[in-house]
Structure 1
Amino acid sequence: MDKISKNTAAHYIWGESCDGWNLVSGQELSVIHERMPAHTYEARHYHHKARQFFFILKGQALMQLEGRTVELAEQEGIEIPPLAVHQIVNVSDAPVEFLVISHPTTRGDRTEV
C-alpha cells in the first residue's frame, strides 16, 4: 500500500466552489477530505445504504440532521445512519475542512430532497 496525502489524492470540485480529495475510494470504504468556503452548503440528501461519519479538521460547521441542527467544532464529528436526511452547512466567515468516511461508498447511493 502506498501512502496518500491531500497533495497527491484525486481532487474534484463539488457545488459551486467546494473541494474534495479522495483519500480512499473503494466500494466498501470511502474517505474524502473536503473543504467548504465561508457561507456554503451542500444539498439536503440521504443515502440508502451508506453510513457516514463527518469529522471536522479545521473551522466549524452545522449539520442539519433529520430536522435538528448540530453544531460541530474542530475535532468533533457526527455519525449519519442510512436514510437520514442531512446537509452540512458552513455559516462562518472562514473555510471549514473535514473528513467524510462512508461505508459502503456513496457512489450511486444519494437521493436529494
Structure 2
Amino acid sequence: MISKKNAEHYVWGQQCDGWRLVNEAGQSIIHERMPAGTSEMRHYHVFAKQFFFVLSGVMTIEVNGELHTLSMHEGIEVKAKQPHQVFNRSNEEIEFLVISQPNTKGDRIAVE
C-alpha cells in the first residue's frame, strides 16, 4: 500500500511538495501540492504524455498557449512535446495527481 504518509517525498519550486506513488520506467504517478500563488516552470517532455487530475482546489494549466481552469475531480491530458505550465492562481492550496507515461526523469525541456 502507498500513500502520502509513506511515499518518497520531495520539495520543488516555491514550497511545493511531491510524493512519488509509482516510480517505474514506463510510468510515474505523483501526488503534488501547490500553495496559493505558486507555479511551475514552463516546459515540455520529449517522450512522456501526462494526465493531470485535480484532487482539491482550482488549478490553472497552460497547454500550448491555451489556458484551462480545472476544478476538483477534473483532469486534462498533455501530450508529449506540448509546452505546459501549472499555476495556482487561487487563494487556497491545490492537490493533484500527475500520471506520466513513460516516466519523465531526464525528459524535461525548459521553455521560456
Q: Distance in 2 between matches of 1:23 and 1:62?
A: 23
Q: Tell me how far 1:16 sits from its aligned partner.
A: 2.3
Structure 1 segments (4+ residues) deviating >3 Å: none
Counterpart selection for 1:52 from 41, 50, 53: 50
Could you tell me which amino acid in structure 2 is paired with residue 72 of structure 1? L
Q: 5+ residue gaps in structure 2?
A: none
CA deviation string 1:63-100 (max 9, x = no partner) = 10101101100000000000000000000000000000
Which letter maps to 2:83?
Answer: V
Residue 33 (structure 1) aligned to one of 31, 34, 56: 31
Give the distance between the partners of 2:101 and 2:65, measured in 1 at CA: 23
Amino acid at match of 1:32: I
Structure 1 length as normaliser, TM-score? Answer: 0.97
Separation in structure 2 between the aligned mates of residue 34 and residue 14 of structure 1, nearest angstrom: 10
Corresponding residue number in structure 2 for 1:96: 94
Identity rate of aligned residues, in percent?
51
Deviations 1:40-85 (A, max 9, x none): 0000000000000000000011010101101100000000000000
SS at match of 2:55: strand
Structure 2 distance, partners of 1:16, 1:65, is 21
Matched, 1:83 2:81: yes
| CA distance in 1 between partners of 2:28 and 2:59 (Å) | 21
In structure 2, C-alpha distance between the alignment counterparts of 1:17 and 1:83, rounded to whole Å: 27
Q: Give the aligned residue type for 1:82.
A: A
Q: Supply the distance in 2 between the matched residues of 1:92 and 1:8 (Cα, whole angstroms).
A: 28
